[in-house]
Amino acid sequence: MRLEGKIAVITGGASGIGEAAVRLFVQNGAMVIIADVQDVVGAQVAASLTPNATFIHCDVSKEPDVSSMVDYTMEKYGRLDIMFSNAGVLGKLFTSLMDMTLENLDRVLAVNVHGSYLCTKHAARVMIPNRHGCILYTASLSTVIAMPRGLSYTASKHATVGIMKSAAAALAPYGIRANCVSPTGLPTPLVVGALGLEIPGFDKKAAEDMYEAAFEFKGVKFEPEDVAKAALFLCSEDARYISGHNLVIDGAFSASKEFSTANFNFQHLAPQKNVDMTGSTVKGE
């Protein structure tokens, strides 16, 4: 019961890493507000954990939604101990930097960066008076090894780490901690859905096979629950003096690899485009 009596908000809590964190936090004694745009799925998760979880619709790119989410938490419980800013989008992962549009970049930044900032801002306004709290963000392995494609996603997650570090420094005098978890790829609904739009026939099994082939840490199947356990640690009193840290969860991948699409073999699923340094488009990779 490492979070017994704690009040937590988890954005993007309806599925994937967020859902795993919701369930683990509740198992460890927390009361959890599930914030997501997936109303049906989010309500189902909350119903399965009643009365320890409640669902609220929240688009983290919209400040009124985030403000209302925090206000709802304060009205219901009187305080906020943990803000887990987990909601995010991937954008177009196969788009080269020469083909990236501002529309795509703005959409990813709106959710991943603006959302991180808004969760920080509104969590801080209610945590500062209590001089206590923990803010956690889901970043990405791409904050350590840049992705050659998916510029918008990589940039957004670097910005998330920047927000975390600034928040950690600014909020330390109030006893409020801020950290990131940065997992490597997982076959979550977000990943399967995003890649399924770009690769015909791509499904969860294809994602599992792709990641299994890419990563060399064997004997353990990487699951959303592994990220949730890291989040649990960072939000618990066991990590009471850890702040400003980006915890990479990648089975040593970043210790010895470059983040190359050679590690993620999509060629058997669909032909890809690549852009060389001169900007000309060439087939294959």
User: Annotated catalytic, 157?
Assistant: yes
Give one word for 177, left, alpha or beta, with left for phi > 0 and alpha for psi -120 to 50.
Answer: beta
Active site residue 92: no
Contact yes or no for 87/11 (Cβ under 8 A): yes
Question: What is the identity of the amino acid at 178?
Answer: A
Q: What is the DSSP string of 137-191?
A: EE--GGGTS--SS-HHHHHHHHHHHHHHHHHHHHHGGGTEEEEEEEE-----HHH
Catalytic site residue from 153, 211, 236, 243:
153
Would you call 165 a catalytic residue per the annotation? no
The single residue of 142, 157, 182, 243 carrying the catalytic annotation is 157
**Of the residues 15, 85, 96, 140, which is catalytic?**
140
DSSP letter string, 192-261: HHHHHTTSTT--HHHHHHHHHHH----S----HHHHHHHHHHHHSGGGTT--SEEEEESTTHHHH----G
| 160-171 exposure pattern, b = at least 16 Cβ within 10 A, e = fewer | bbebbbebbeeb
| Catalytic residue list | 140, 153, 157
